[in-house]
Amino acid sequence: MRNNRPAPPARLPDRNAVRPKIGLAFSGGSGKAISYVGILEVFEENNIPIDYITACSSGTIIAASYACGTLQKLKDDWLSLDKKFVLKMFELNNTKQALFSTDKFAEWLGQYVNKNFEDVTPRLGFVCADLKTATQIVLGLGDILKAGQASCAVPGLFSPIPWGNMLLADGGLVCTIPGKEAREMGADIVIGGDILGRRHVFTRKTIQFREKYNNFKESSLFWPFRFLSKQFNKFRDAVLVEQRASHGPNIFSILGNAMNIVVDIEKNEIIDNGGCDVVLTPDVKLTNKIGFSDSKNMYEEGRRVALEAIPQIRKLIAEHKA
């Protein structure tokens, strides 16, 4: 029997289906990460969708809170932080792996982050460095809080975080703007955020010192010291073998491994802008190193650079659709 019903009207394409996937890539930079709150607010106000956020170090705090839906509370609390609060976070460590423990920091961050990666949107990827294998690790499964704790663990300052067979530390050792990682997750357009102003968590002077030290160790001038060092290491290993087994590597070996990771990366090809299409650079590099005493201005600076970038971002989205 003939079907006389009219054909259904053609469906218009879903705007969300054809739009490009957008990823953010946040560097770390201590308390200066409050700038990213301003950036995210401006994107929401201008209907710029976010599908992925990759981050390292303090950038993970903002990314995690945003994905967990607590960014407004974090912003309100952050703007009231002072030096007294910062000092409370620096609880002395008793494992001999670092000067301070990250337990206090994790306790504070737990107010805003209490979910797993699998339970939030946008999708997150937190960059860390595995001190055992000297490789970059991107965490995207499991406990977001623990992953952020690992990515913020500056070697020497905070204890590295065990994760399976890995020993994870600050992602700034291996990259500062994880734009390439956001693209690998599926982003078509990647917008970076740079509040650090350099390629690694260590300064250039520190890296140069380590390079000279490594070169000296390989020279013939070092052989008397190498002989004495071997004898000392044998004695130390015999006396402290049980202590090393229970506490793991000490602060000096952790710092040495961390600096060697950075030295090796410096020899490789440098990727401009971290592979991002746009990099937002709030003018916060001249503020104090802890970065909490001027939080309001840094937040506003994040809004400023984001508003300036909106036309360029909309153009990229339109070009991708076309």
Q: How many C-beta atoms lie closer than 10 Å to residue 282's C-beta? A: 26
Q: Name, in order, each residue with C-beta under 8 angstroms of 5's C-beta and a sequence gap of 6 or more.
A: none
Instruction: Identify the bridge partners of residue 136 per DSSP, sorted by sequence position.
Output: 129
Residue linked to tokens 């044998």 = 234
Helix (H, G, I), strand (E, B) or coil at 241: helix
Whole-angstrom CA distances from 108 to 48, 89, 104, 292 are: 30, 9, 6, 15
CA angle 284, 205, 93 (to 5 degrees): 75
Q: Which domains does the chain have, with CATH numbers?
A: 22-217+226-321 (3.40.1090)
The pTM score is 0.79
CB 142: neighbour CB atoms within 10 A?
A: 13
Phi, psi of 129 (to 5 degrees): -115, 130
Closest listed residue to residue 181, CA positions, set 146, 150, 137: 137
Beta bridge partner(s), residue 56: 127
Residue 206 has a pLDDT of 53
**Ordered alpha helix ranges (H), the chain:** 15-18, 34-45, 59-68, 71-78, 83-89, 103-109, 144-151, 179-185, 204-218, 223-247, 251-266, 295-321
Torsions phi, psi for 126 (to 5 deg): -105, 125
Cβ pair 91, 100 in contact under 8 A: yes
Contact indicator for 115, 322 with CB cutoff of 8 Å: no
The pLDDT score that the predictor gives to residue 243 is: 43
Which residues, 6+ apart, have CB-to-CB distance to 10 below 8 Å? none
Q: What is the pLDDT along the chain (322 residues), one digit of tens a residue?
A: 445 555 544 444 455 558 999 999 999 888 899 999 999 999 999 999 999 999 999 999 999 999 999 999 999 999 988 778 877 777 777 777 778 887 888 898 999 999 999 999 999 999 999 999 989 999 999 999 999 999 998 888 888 899 999 999 998 888 889 999 999 999 999 999 999 866 655 555 555 544 454 554 454 444 454 544 554 455 445 444 444 444 567 787 777 777 777 766 665 655 556 789 999 999 886 554 555 668 899 999 999 999 999 999 999 999 998 7
Give the DSSP letter of residue 275.
G
Q: What is the DSSP secondary-structure string of 12-72? A: PPPHHHHSPPEEEEE---GGGGHHHHHHHHHHHHTT----EEEEETTHHHHHHHHHHT-HH
CA 264-266-270 angle, to 5 degrees, is 130
Known catalytic residues are: 57, 170
pLDDT at 38: 97
What's the half-sphere exposure (Cβ side, CA atoms, 13 Å) at 311? 2
pLDDT recorded at residue 291: 52
Q: What is the pLDDT of residues 185-210, one digit of tens each?
A: 999 999 999 998 666 555 555 555 44
- Residue 54 has φ and ψ, to the nearest 5°, of -105, 145
Which one, of 320, 318, 314, lies nearest residue 47 by Cα?
314
Give the model's pLDDT for residue 155. 87
Q: How many CB atoms lie within 10 A of CB 170?
A: 27
